[in-house]
Structure 1
Amino acid sequence: MKKVFALLLALSMFCALLAGCGKKEETDNVTVRVGAMSGPTAMGMVKLMKDAEDGTAKGTYEFADLSTDPSTFVAPLTKGDIDIAAVPSNLASVIYNNTNGGVQILAVNTLGVLNIVERGDSVQSIKDLAGKKLYATGQGATPEYTLRHILKQNGIDPDSGLTIQWCADTTEALSYIANDSEAIAMLPQPFATAAMGQVDGLRVAIDLNDAWTEIEDCDIVTGVVVARTDFVKEHPQAVETFLSEYEASVAYTNDNAADAAELIAGYGIVAKAPLAEKAIPKCHITFLKGQEMKDSVSGYLQILFDENPQAVGGTLPADDFYYGL
């Protein structure tokens, strides 16, 4: 009787083990719903988008329509309609704070994309902006806070040491540049590259990444990839597969600019492939994860917090904001 009982117990444990394995497989066999903004974040994701479309990706992905407004993904992330999204780093912090830790950063995907451009040669360094008029976009968002920090660290009061005229969008800023040969502007990539194709003599005077690294140890972290915390817990293998494929997609974009540009134009991320090819090296598309990700993001968020706490949602995120640590 004892032998029979032992046999039944062993069989039940074996069945439970099989059931557990089956449940794990089912949990990770999931369609990952992904959102991305048009611009550098989508440029780095384009190979994965193509592989998903062709059915050659390891994971199963459903990509939402590209958006120019990062807030588009806030509600879907909060409601669970999107699992993973590429968003500005400070917005990731805001969502984290507003959802009590409802999202985690998986990786950094874009460093600084801001350039100071002009048609002449009056600007060789940040200090040359003193006393000048600068057209810019991004008031009340990370471009403004990044610019203000760089100016202050270079001894220029951003409120009185120069005149900053905030424009509604990049098109408005471009109109000033086109009509005034002495105009100076702060433009993001890839728009800055596009503008140089439209305005004769327009040049990048300063890449703000370079100006930033002269004063800080961390990076300008423009974009990150976040996932719903619940999704990470429920589908760990799907998250790891996504990260692996996304890292490969970023490498493809940076290493195969001409081919990636064709895909970028094909998906309507940038109008023309030649423009996309020129812009890719200037967009600082990257992939950082783990401790390197945390160091970059936490350092940048601290600076934004010091400029304006509400820029990051009122408080700095805790350690559980960073995936894999």
Structure 2
Amino acid sequence: MKKFYFLFFIVLLTTAVISGCSEKSSQATAGSDQNSEEQQTLKATISAPKSPAIFPSILLAEQQKDIELITWETADTLLAQIQKKQAQFIALPLNMGANLYAKGMPLQLIQVNTFGSMFLVSTDDKVQKLEDLAHQTIFVPSQGGPPDILTNYLIAQNNIPGVKLSFVNLTEIGQQLASGAIQHVVIPEPLLSIVQANLQTDLHIAINFEEVWQKQFSKQLPQTGIFVNKAWASSNQHAIKQFQALSEQAITDLYQQPDVSLPLLSDFFKSNEKIIESALTNSSLHFQTAQQARNETEAYFKILLEIAPDSIGGALPNEDFYYNE
């Protein structure tokens, strides 16, 4: 993960131009421009990883003819998208966005949409809580990433003795669990539901990081948000307003219209609807603007600054990091 942060040197996000129409009189012009602006379809590209943060974007791309969805899975893919100016809105883990911002990248957070959605699972039915992992090996993906940092933090805070953390490639988790090579692993959705459905051995959730975080800090655990280029944001406020409204509605539709959302998500992930329904149920998706989520996001960053300062670039982002509508 540390290598990931240093792969980025430029963050350039493309701009969209929103204009109104004109009429003969100044009063008519103002009214016409306003109506045109309100009715104009948002034309934009969203880039997101294949995590719960992409769920509402899948709906947006289906519902809005001028919204395109692209994905990134590696640093190289994302960097290429940025260099080619392929996306106006980009979903990133919050600590990654903060790290890039600390390195001088002109990013602004406009919304947080994913909280928690990360789990410690086990094939050992005796493991039901954190204390049961004493003197055990826990596998986590992405050294230096949130699963690594937060697992270490919870182990230390709860004084669990003899725990060893080891690392596993995300794509190998299912195979490693099936072979018995690993028993306890931190895994996000939707991979969790996919692995559970295909694994012959029972795999149960021992720790829901969101629940543990809320119990310990009385706050949600913010994980992923949508970022834009600061300069683009300043001249495209209406586009951002449209995107925010569409995003909030899409998150509502995910849960309130499963007959619509589940087939779309299933088709995207090439998986059956029962698996995707499980992934959606386990995912904690809520819409909050950057300002609404700021207190919880800063609380999260303060923990990271204490235990893994490099993960957010060694400093808390200042207020300019948070887009203000």
Structure-2-length-normalised TM-score: 0.82
Counterpart contact for 1:39–1:190, Cα < 8 Å? yes
Q: Give a deviation string over 1:95-117, Cα, whole Å, max 9, x none.
A: 222235x1211111111122121
2:67 to 41, 55, 61: 61
CA deviation string 1:268-323 (max 9, x = no partner): 23533221112101011221125431012111111111112110122111012112
Asked whether the 8 Å contact 2:46–2:57 carries over to 1, the reply is: no
Q: Please provide the CA RMSD for this pair.
A: 2.9
Structure 1 match to 2:306: 306
Letter paired with 1:62: E
What is the rounded CA distance, in whole Å, between the counterparts of 1:233 and 1:50 in structure 2? 27
Q: What does residue 321 of structure 2 align with?
A: 321
Question: Normalising to structure 1: TM-score of the pair?
Answer: 0.82
Deviation at residue 18 of structure 1 after TM alignment: 5.4
Matched residue, 1:269: 269
Question: What residue in structure 2 maps to residue 249 of structure 1?
Answer: 250
The structural deviation recorded for 1:223 is: 0.7
* 3-state DSSP of counterpart to 2:292: helix
Q: Which residue of 1 aligns with 2:240?
A: 239
- Checking the alignment, whether the CA contact within 8 Å between 1:136 and 1:173 is kept in structure 2 is no
Q: Which amino acid aligns with 2:91?
A: A
Tell me the percent identity: 21
1:162-241 equivalences under 5 Å are 162-169=163-170, 171-180=171-180, 183-199=183-199, 200-241=201-242
The offset of 1:156, in angstroms, is: 2.6
> 1:156 and 1:95 mapped to 2: Cα distance?
33
Question: Shift of residue 219 of structure 1?
Answer: 2.5
Kindly provide the CA deviation profile for residues 130-167 of structure 1, in whole angstroms up to 9, marking residues without a partner as x. Answer: 1112122121111111111111111136xxx2122211
2:136 aligns with one of 129, 132, 135 = 132
What do residues 238-265 of structure 1 show as CA deviations (whole Å, max 9, x unaligned)?
Answer: 1001000011001111223343121012
**What per-residue deviation string (whole Å, max 9, x for no partner) do you get for residues 6-51 of structure 1?**
xxxxxxxx869959x969978x887323211122111122221111
Query: Structure 1 stretches of 5 or more lacking a match?
Result: 1-13
Change in Cα spacing, 1:146 to 1:258, as seen in structure 2 (3 Å) is: farther
| 1:113-124 correspondence to structure 2 within 5 Å | 113-124=117-128
3-state SS in 1 of match to 2:126: coil
Q: Residue 220 of structure 2 aligns to which amino acid in structure 1? A: D
Moved more, 241-250 or 79-88: 79-88
Change (3 A) 1:74 1:313: farther
- The alignment partner of 1:197 has SS state of helix
Measured at CA, do residues 74 and 35 of structure 1 come closer, stay the same or move farther in structure 2, by a change above 3 Å? same
Does the 8 Å CA contact 2:130/2:206 hold for their aligned counterparts? no
Give, in whole Å, the separation in 2 of the partners of 1:274 and 1:290: 32
How many residues of Structure 1 are paired with residues of Structure 2 in the alignment? 299
Q: What's the CA shift string for 1:169-208, capped at 9, x where partnerless?
A: 2x32322321229822221111111111122321112212
* Shift in alpha-carbon separation, 1:255–1:17, aligned structure 2, 3 A: closer
Counterpart residue number, 1:40: 52
Q: Distance in 1 between matches of 2:120 and 2:252?
A: 27
Residue in 2 aligned with 1:150?
154
Match of 1:6 in 2: none
